[in-house]
């Protein structure tokens, strides 16, 4: 395992590229536009600068890490030599299935194809390829360079050998890989998303305001951040889409997304990435409560 191709240079893709490159893998970072790639590299550079200033890595480590990353706007060019692909493109089933069809054509026959999807079944992704034994989930957590967990999702056909390779590789990155099976939400989101949804429902029912709900969970349950703030960081659109996948997958109303969450996504309030969610992240208003409409 030497050549790693990462698809998508967004929040997760640039963190995954950073992590592999820091551990001296040769990384091909692929996105649809040069602009997305430039933004991804700028984020990696900023994050490495922060690590240098905190004396976690040296200036030479930073240079070496950046030199290990090459960018591409074409999957065919960026994945043709891959030993492993980690797909971290937008959470959209059609986009991912199209990417895996193409990867199956252009990657070496022995390459392992993995997805960082939060919710799309690995077995469904594997089924569009001719190598379902070599398709697996590598669900990294945000921010990738810091968070230790990698949820390793075995599709219905994923082989033991491929699972072992990916588990060993994750350990080489200093991560703690944890094997789970391929059912909606896997483990992390199956437990996290109902909690976030219930926090939104609690707000919707006027039981308490945004800060009160988050304070109860932070100080009462020792969570490092409250569920509404966490939802803002994950992206409310991402939370909604994961809940919908679980609702459809289990046909169980307990996963039905709260109408307030649906409305906020419709209104473009997606959390940190749009500047506003349950909190206001514009200019100096960081972490200020969004006014009356959602919590009165």
Residue 39, CA atoms < 13 Å, CB-side half-sphere: 12
User: Would you call 118 a catalytic residue per the annotation?
Assistant: yes
Per annotation, catalytic residue among 5, 151, 170, 197: 151
CB of 59 to ligand NAD, least distance (A): 28
Contact of 216 with 203, CB cutoff 8 Å: no
User: Would you call 130 a catalytic residue per the annotation?
Assistant: no
Contact stretch for ligand NAD (CB under 6 A) within 53-61, 104-112, 115-123, 243-251: 115-123
Q: Which is nearer to ligand NAD, 52 or 143 (CB)?
A: 143
Contact stretch for ligand NAD (CB under 6 A) within 49-57, 87-95, 260-268, 288-296: 87-95
Task: Determine which residue in the list 3, 5, 13, 126 makes contact with ligand NAD, applying CB under 6 A.
Answer: 13
Q: Which is nearer to ligand NAD, 31 or 83 (CB)?
A: 31
User: Would you call 189 a catalytic residue per the annotation?
Assistant: yes
Task: Determine which residue in the list 4, 6, 7, 193 makes contact with ligand NAD, applying CB under 6 A.
Answer: 7
Residues belonging to the binding site are: 8-13, 31, 91, 96, 118, 142, 273
User: Would you call 18 a catalytic residue per the annotation?
Assistant: no
CB atoms within 10 A of CB 108: 11
Site track 122-141 with ligand NAD (rule: CB under 6 A), x = hit: -----------------x--
Residues belonging to the binding site for NAD(+) are: 8-13, 31, 91, 96, 118, 142, 273
Task: Determine which residue in the list 90, 130, 172, 252 makes contact with ligand NAD, applying CB under 6 A.
Answer: 90
Per annotation, catalytic residue among 68, 114, 116, 139: 139
Contact of 56 with 62, CB cutoff 8 Å: no
CB of 155 to ligand NAD, least distance (A): 15
Q: Is 43 in the site for ligand NAD (CB under 6 A)?
A: no
Per annotation, catalytic residue among 189, 197, 241, 274: 189
CB of 94 to ligand NAD, least distance (A): 10
Q: Is 36 in the site for ligand NAD (CB under 6 A)?
A: yes
Spatial neighbors of 211 by CB under 8 A, at least 6 apart, are: 289
Q: Is 117 in the site for ligand NAD (CB under 6 A)?
A: yes
Q: How many residues bind ligand NAD (CB under 6 A)?
A: 25
CA Rg value for the chain: 19
Residues in the chain: 296
For the chain, give the DSSP string.
--EEEEE--SHHHHHHHHHHHHTT-EEEEE-SSHHHHHHHHHHHHHHHHHHHHTTSS-HHHHHHHHHTEEEES-HHHHHTT-SEEEE---S-HHHHHHHHHHHHHHS-TT-EEEE--SSS-HHHHHTTSS-GGGEEEEEE-SSTTT--EEEEEE-TT--HHHHHHHHHHHHHTT-EEEEEE-STTTTHHHHHHHHHHHHHHHHHTTSS-HHHHHHHHHHHH--SS-HHHHHHHH-HHHHHHHHHHHHHHHT-GGGPPPHHHHHHHHTT--BGGGTBSSEE-STT-TTEEPPGGGT-
Which residue number places its CB atom closest to ligand NAD? 10
Q: Is 88 in the site for ligand NAD (CB under 6 A)?
A: yes
Residues contributing to the site for ligand NAD (CB under 6 A):
7-13, 30-32, 36, 88-91, 95, 99, 116-118, 139, 142, 234-235, 238
Q: What is the set of active-site residues?
A: 118, 139, 151, 189
């Amino acid at each position: 395992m030497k050549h790693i191709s990462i698809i998508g240079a967004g929040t997760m893709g640039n963190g995954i590229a950073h992590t592999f490159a820091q551990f001296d893998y040769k990384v091909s970072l692929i996105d649809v536009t040069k602009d997305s790639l430039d933004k991804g590299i700028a984020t990696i550079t900023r994050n490495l600068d922060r690590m240098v200033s905190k004396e976690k890595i040296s200036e030479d480590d930073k240079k070496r890490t950046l030199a290990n990353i090459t960018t591409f706007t074409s999957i065919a060019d960026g994945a043709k030599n891959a030993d492993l692909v980690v797909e971290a493109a937008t959470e959209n089933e059609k986009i991912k299935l199209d990417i895996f069809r193409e990867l199956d054509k252009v990657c070496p026959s022995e390459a392992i194809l993995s997805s960082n999807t939060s919710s799309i079944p690995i077995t469904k992704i594997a089924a569009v390829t001719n190598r379902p034994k070599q398709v697996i989930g590598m669900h990294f957590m945000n921010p990738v360079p810091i968070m230790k967990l990698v949820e390793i999702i075995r599709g219905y056909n994923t082989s033991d050998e491929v699972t072992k390779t990916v588990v060993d590789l994750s350990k080489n990155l200093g991560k703690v890989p944890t094997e789970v099976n391929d059912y909606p939400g896997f483990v992390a989101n199956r437990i996290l998303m109902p909690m976030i949804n219930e926090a939104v429902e609690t707000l919707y029912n006027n039981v308490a305001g945004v800060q009160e709900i988050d304070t109860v969970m932070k100080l009462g349950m020792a969570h490092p951040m409250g569920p509404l703030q966490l939802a803002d960081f994950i992206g409310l659109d991402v939370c909604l889409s994961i809940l919908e996948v679980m609702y459809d997958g289990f046909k169980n109303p307990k996963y039905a997304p709260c109408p307030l969450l649906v409305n906020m996504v419709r209104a473009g309030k997606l959390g940190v990435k749009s500047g506003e969610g349950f909190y206001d992240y514009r200019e100096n208003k960081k972490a200020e409560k969004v006014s009356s409409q959602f919590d009165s």
